[in-house]
Copies of this chain bind each other. A is one copy, B any other.
Amino acid sequence: MFQAAVKTFSASSGGGLTCIRHYCKKTARKLRVSEAVSGAGLGANVKVQGWVRSVRPQKANLFLHVNDGSSLQSLQIVASSELNNPSLTFGSAVEVTGTLKKSPHHKQPVELEAEQIRVVGECNPVDFPFKIKERHSLEYLRQFPHLRCRTNAFSSLLRIRSEATTAIHSYFKDNGFLQIHTPIITSNDCEGAGELFQVEPSGPDHDEDENFFSVPAFLTVSGQLHLEVMSGAFSKVYTFGPTFRAENSQSRRHLAEFYMVEAEVSFTQSLEDLTKVMEDMFRSATEHVLAHCVEDVDLFHKHVTPGHREIVDAMLKRKFPVITYSEAIDILKRSSEKFSFPTDWGCDLQTEHEKYLVKHCGNIPVFVTDYPFNLKPFYARDNQDHPEHTAAAVDLLVPGVGELCGGSLREERLDLLRVRLEEAGLEETYSWYLDLRRFGSVPHGGFGLGFERYLQCVLGVDNIKDVIPFPRSSHSCLL
């Protein structure tokens, strides 16, 4: 049996073993690697548990690095060579007891002088897909979604993602926003028609002629309409959760399941009320991540995407410029760049255009406002301007990524909204949405931010599949 493989080696041999075990049990304080490397427990008898990141046997001594995911840094273990054993390999799980001491080497502040090393779980280095001292590419790691968290790069990514999540929640909480769990399954079906996932029970018990929910039900493409419900009672709300697109695309930019941060603000006066929240949130989250994940972010900025740190620093230095869509079209028309897509007024901006506009504005995030009315969905607020008829919509474009956020003021005027829904034949489907304007309607607006794109923007990571724990896209749903 596997447990028989667990081997305990102790610095003293023979009769001393029981004694040491007793001693460890009584006094060894359990410490996480992040605590140990930060100097907590110096001089104390401690126990550290984790996975071996390196093994370096020397004549008299054995050097190990042990990591438990609490930080990028591993803890150096120094042990007598007697404590070495064949199960101590890269990837194996160990429990080490010993004394935490100041390290004589400048590379790490502390090291653990081991008295006992116990291999808890072996790891055959031949079968294990990651090799000691090799820096595997993100692409290579993607083949092993169940193991890639055991590498430095992906564990850093996961710590950054967790911290960025915290930062975004904190921003909203500190600014008086209420968090709403908008639904995943919804009967709203029109906005992204053709790119929706439908949901029905699987298995033989399911009656194919009848919908489980009595109506067709889909995975949400956005929590906006449900947030708008809440905007009739709370002046600031947000949601942060998964959204879905059944896009048949294998690109580096798209996922079938991705996370969106969406916010809705009531009693707005202009788009500025939204761009302020978007910019503040971006700055606040980014500054938080840069301050709280120094080593993890450095790993990306130094080894994965060298040169990206300067871009991030530049982003945070200046206020984000605001240009109108019409100005953007002028810029594109005046440019000498050859675009694949047309740049006429009325055409949607493509990624190539967005990236050009960002470069044009100094390679920092830029807001583009007031898009052609006809490009925007029914809920976008009519600017009632002419001859160029626009809607009060805004996108935030960022270096490397293009569109990061999209938002708009919402049409709060019952009559205008009703006409628009009538024209689209949707008045009945959206009678509940019209109700929101019938009873105490207020000017309001909101936006959505693609969370994976945000991480790409901050870290410079090229492929969106490398910033989410378990990527889903057409023809791929591993695990």
User: A interface vs B, CB < 8 Å?
Assistant: 1-3, 32, 49-52, 67-70, 91-93, 95, 120-124, 127-128, 145-147, 149-150, 155, 158-159, 161-162, 165-166, 169, 173, 176, 178-189, 193-203, 205-206, 212-219, 225-226, 229-230, 232-235, 241-242, 244, 246, 248, 256-257, 259, 266-267, 412-416, 432-433, 435-443, 468-470, 472, 474-479
Contact = CB atoms under 8 A, between A and B. Distances in A.
Q: Would you list the 7 A-B pairs with minimal beta carbon distance, nearest first?
A: A69-B234, A121-B441, A201-B246, A198-B202, A213-B477, A183-B470, A149-B233
Given A49-B267, A149-B230, A432-B479, 7 more contacts: A51-B440, A69-B235, A124-B439, A150-B232, A199-B199, A213-B475, A214-B476
Nearest to A239: B469
A155 B233 CA distance: 8
B440 A92 contact: yes
A194 B185 contact: no
B242 A181 contact: yes
Contacts of A241: 241-242
Nearest to A418: B2
Given A1-B413, A149-B234, A479-B225, A468 B181 contact: yes
B69 A229 contact: no
Given A266-B49, A440-B91, A230 B185 contact: no
B159 A123 contact: no
A475 B216 CA distance: 10
B2 A415 contact: yes
Nearest to A119: B440
A234 B267 contact: no
A178 B441 CA distance: 41
Contact of A147 (B95, B232, B469): B232
B196 A50 contact: no
Nearest to A219: B199
A199 B197 contact: yes
A197 B212 CA distance: 10
Contact of A442 (B93, B147, B218, B441): B93
A441 B439 CA distance: 58
Contacts of A412: 121
27 contacts: A3-B413, A32-B176, A49-B266, A50-B235, A51-B233, A70-B235, A91-B439, A93-B442, A120-B441, A121-B412, A127-B438, A150-B233, A159-B178, A162-B178, A166-B169, A169-B169, A181-B242, A185-B472, A194-B205, A196-B202, A199-B219, A202-B246, A212-B246, A212-B248, A212-B474, A213-B475, A229-B479
Contacts of A178: 69, 158-159, 162
Contacts of A219: 184, 199
A179 B120 CA distance: 25
Nearest to A1: B415
A2 B434 CA distance: 13
A205 B145 CA distance: 30
Contacts of A201: 195-198, 246
Contact of A120 (B176, B184, B416, B442): B442
Nearest to A413: B2
A229 to B, nearest CB: 5
Given A235-B68, A266-B49, A182 B469 contact: yes
A234 B182 CA distance: 30
Contacts of A158: 178, 180, 230, 234
Nearest to A50: B235
Contact of A477 (B91, B217, B226, B436): B217
Contacts of A257: 183-185
Contacts of A1: 413, 415-416
